[in-house]
């Protein structure tokens, strides 16, 4: 027994010494030598809070998340989480498809990020989503909610927010529940020079409803060309939306 104890003690002492030496070596190094950066590339509208995912709304949450992760050394041992931000907003404050694509390439070349946060707008997410797929890195966004991002050519995109496809499925369940088979969709506020949120939301509903043969008629009107005769629109919905469904022929 005594012999076993003595035999084990020496390697143990050596090991403790080695550990101490190693700690000293580590303490002598500068923080940047021992820690590797994990860089997130952030592309969001910098100032325009009309966008729900604009930097003033998302930024504080991201900063808090980065602080929280870095405060717990067991989460990413020997690594520091950092982020680099560039705006996707043009001079008019609007999400810019071309700017977002340039920012993505710049950020990739300069920092070789592990992941992208944003963009949020559908038109800016499209080119960046194609790049991140090509680079094989994740793109996490609370936006990019258009139907076109579902599967297909954008496998790198993860939506943390609601998507229009989900909205469509929700509407579909309501229609199935009540046995509604005909619908009218009023599309308004379709500014083609911006991100067309109403257009893309309607698309989510329309594509899901059509997938189970629910009749969908659409009527587009120009809200900005006045006067809009809303009575006329309602009348036309009333005339076109009732009494023609196959299910009501009995």
128 vs 146 by CB, closer to ligand NAG: 128
13 vs 235 by CB, closer to ligand NAG: 235
Binding residue for ligand NAG, selected from 44, 86, 96, 126, defined by CB under 6 A: 86
Tell me the closest approach of the beta carbon of residue 4 to ligand NAG, in angstroms. 46
Binding of ligand NAG at residue 249 (CB under 6 A)?
Answer: no
Q: Could you tell me the two tokens for 153? A: 């050519």
Tell me the closest approach of the beta carbon of residue 235 to ligand NAG, in angstroms. 5
Asked if residue 185 lies in contact with residue 218, where contact means CB atoms within 8 angstroms, the answer is yes
Site string for ligand NAG, 206-245 (x = CB under 6 A): ------xx---------------x-xx--x----------
Residue whose token pair is 């499925």 = 169
Binding residue for ligand NAG, selected from 13, 14, 82, 105, defined by CB under 6 A: 82
Binding of ligand NAG at residue 180 (CB under 6 A)?
Answer: no
For 137-140, the CB contacts below 8 A with 24+ separation are 137/113, 138/114, 139/115, 140/115, 140/116
124 vs 159 by CB, closer to ligand NAG: 124
Binding of ligand NAG at residue 156 (CB under 6 A)?
Answer: no
Q: Could you tell me the CA-to-CA distances from 107 to 5, 23, 42, 111 in Å, in that order? A: 58, 35, 9, 6
Site string for ligand NAG, 38-77 (x = CB under 6 A): --------xx------------------------------
Residue ranges in 136-214 assigned as alpha helix (H): 164-178, 197-211
Binding of ligand NAG at residue 105 (CB under 6 A)?
Answer: no
What distance in Å separates the CA atoms of residue 14 and residue 12, rounded to the nearest whole number?
5
Q: Could you tell me the two tokens for 113? A: 């990020």
Question: Which residue is closest to ligand NAG by CB?
Answer: 232
Q: 160 — phi, psi (to 5°)? A: -95, -5
Binding of ligand NAG at residue 37 (CB under 6 A)?
Answer: yes
Query: Which helix (H) or strand (E) is 9 found in, with range?
Result: helix 2-28
Give strand ranges (E) for 55-156.
Answer: 79-87, 115-117, 139-141
Residues that bind ligand NAG (CB under 6 A): 32, 36-37, 46-47, 82, 86-87, 89, 103, 106, 212-213, 229, 231-232, 235
């Amino acid at each position: 027994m005594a012999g076993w104890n003595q035999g084990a003690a020496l390697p143990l002492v050596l090991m403790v010494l080695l550990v101490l030496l190693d700690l000293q070596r580590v303490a002598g190094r500068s923080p940047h030598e021992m820690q590797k950066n994990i860089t997130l590339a952030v592309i969001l509208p910098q100032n325009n809070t009309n966008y729900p995912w604009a930097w003033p709304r998302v930024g504080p949450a991201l900063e808090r998340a980065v602080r929280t992760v870095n405060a717990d050394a067991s989460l990413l041992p020997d690594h520091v989480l950092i982020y680099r931000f560039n705006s996707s907003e043009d001079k008019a404050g609007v999400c810019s498809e071309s700017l977002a694509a340039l920012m993505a390439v710049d950020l990739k070349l300069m920092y070789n990020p592990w992941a992208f946060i944003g963009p949020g707008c559908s038109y800016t997410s499209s080119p960046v989503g194609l790049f991140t797929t090509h680079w094989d890195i994740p793109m996490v966004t609370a936006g990019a909610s258009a139907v076109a991002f579902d599967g297909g050519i954008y496998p790198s995109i993860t939506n943390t927010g609601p998507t229009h496809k989900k909205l469509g499925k929700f509407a579909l369940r309501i229609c199935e529940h009540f046995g509604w088979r005909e619908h009218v969709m009023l599309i308004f506020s379709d500014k083609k020079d911006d991100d067309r949120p109403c257009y893309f939301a309607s698309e989510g509903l329309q594509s899901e409803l059509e997938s189970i043969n629910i009749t969908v008629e659409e009527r587009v009107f120009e809200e900005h060309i006045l006067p809009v005769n809303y009575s006329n629109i309602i009348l036309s919905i009333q005339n076109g939306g009732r009494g023609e469904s196959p299910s009501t022929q009995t």
